[in-house]
A = this chain, B = another copy of it.
Amino acid sequence: MNAIQRRSPRAEAKAESQRERILDAAQKCFIEHGFHGAGMALIAETAGVSAGLIYRYFDSKHAIVLAIIARELEGKRAKIEELHARDDFLEAVIAKFRGWQAGEPEVMNAPLFLEMSAEGTRAPEVARAIAASDALTRQDFERWLLRPRAEGGVGMAADCARRSALLVQCLIEGLVVRAVRDPGLDAATLREALAPVFHAMGLTPGVQAAPPSPEPSP
């Protein structure tokens, strides 16, 4: 962390806005050129500040990368939460998919997601942050699947919810990859492919969950 002590809360607020300004610029650069491909000079120019000034707010480029990752992980969790706030889960997922394809800044950025995942295989601290965030995300999913339908949940049994949470997590991550690799894939085709799975899992409104067990009891 940066160790500058600031006098007034007024100054503190401005300092914080500068930090975000730099982070926003860094995020844009990292998306366009990757963590290693984007240089400090480019980040500084994008942020509209001098290169030297960045070091008043961040200790190093690596610190910026970590801050971006932390910010993105936090944002991801919030965005995933939105998925089971809507009554139609399938449509919510497809709406997010469109956002990933278009690279909209309001949703979790897909190229950054890939970059972060790859970076996790090199930097252990990144791997730990990702693992912690993923565990929380899956817990969020599981709680939603467990909650009764009357309370906006799906009303699954315990082991069923655990399995389904993992499955949905894999599927969503797969969709992020697909959005990047096939930006032209249309939503209707995707809907047709996903609908039966979500239907069978009971994620379609008004449909009870089928028991997802490998050997259905006779």
Within 8 A of B (CB), among A148-177: 163-164, 166-167, 169-177
The prevalent SS among residues of A at the interface is: helix
Q: Measured between C-beta atoms, what is the minimum distance from A188 to chain B in Å?
A: 11
Contact of A174 among B36, B163, B170 (CB under 8 A): B170
Q: How far is the CA of A33 from the CA of B35 in the complex (A)?
A: 11
Task: List residues of chain B with CB within 8 A of the CB of A35.
Answer: 34, 36
Additional A-B contact list (12), CB under 8 Å, known A166-B190, A167-B193: A34-B35, A110-B121, A118-B118, A120-B181, A134-B181, A134-B182, A170-B178, A173-B174, A195-B212, A196-B214, A197-B200, A200-B200
30 contacts between A and B (CB under 8 A): A34-B34, A34-B35, A34-B36, A36-B37, A103-B121, A110-B121, A111-B118, A111-B121, A114-B114, A114-B118, A131-B182, A134-B182, A164-B193, A166-B185, A166-B193, A169-B174, A170-B171, A170-B177, A170-B178, A170-B193, A171-B174, A173-B174, A173-B178, A174-B175, A174-B177, A176-B177, A196-B200, A196-B210, A196-B214, A199-B214
